[in-house]
Copies of this chain bind each other. A is one copy, B any other.
């Protein structure tokens, strides 16, 4: 049993995320192999963004080494299926509990104190970005939107007013 305090970034339990991942793969005719499952579980359990090498280390045991390259392959797969996200500014990965619509814009909120990463999405924000891009004559293919700062919980903890 892993310790796992309740916190904002974890709307969904690990079991639920694994079940969803398995369902997604089955319904798309893709393989949810043991390695992919273990990587998904490691990302989901962590509670904060995990580097690929962290995951490789966590999955390795005396006698059974999991190489980073294998983790990368599993992560690539899980990202294609929308089950995990990559946090570019941290070179790390988080589970996704949301199942976004394709093309839906997402903001990653990265707390520099506790390290938790939350996701937010906003129609208004997306429209603003679309209009800005249109004005610039730019056709978007892929957007990275990450904000580093302090989450509500950490701000309260620092200023107990």
**Contacting residue for A141 out of B112, B124, B138, B152, CB 8 A:** B112
CA distance A104 to B94 in the complex (A): 28
CA distance A131 to B125 in the complex (A): 9
A-B contact pairs, 19 of them (CB 8 A): A88-B89, A107-B133, A120-B132, A120-B133, A122-B132, A125-B129, A125-B131, A127-B128, A136-B152, A137-B155, A138-B147, A138-B149, A138-B151, A138-B152, A140-B147, A140-B148, A141-B148, A142-B148, A144-B145
Tell me whether A140 and B146 are in contact (CB under 8 A). Answer: no
* Known contacts A141-B148, A149-B141, A152-B138; A122/B118 CB under 8 A: no
Q: Which residue of B lies closest to A130 (CB)?
A: B125
Q: Which residues of B contact A109 (CB under 8 A)?
A: 133, 136, 138
CA distance A78 to B127 in the complex (A): 33
**Contacting residue for A139 out of B124, B131, B150, CB 8 A:** B150
Shortest Cβ distance from residue A113 to the other chain B in the assembled complex, whole angstroms: 10
Tell me whether B144 and A118 are in contact (CB under 8 A). Answer: no
CA distance A100 to B23 in the complex (A): 47
- Is A143's beta carbon under 8 Å from chain B? yes
For window 77-123 of A, CB contacts with B under 8 Å fall at 88-89, 107, 109, 111-112, 118, 120, 122
CA distance A61 to B147 in the complex (A): 40
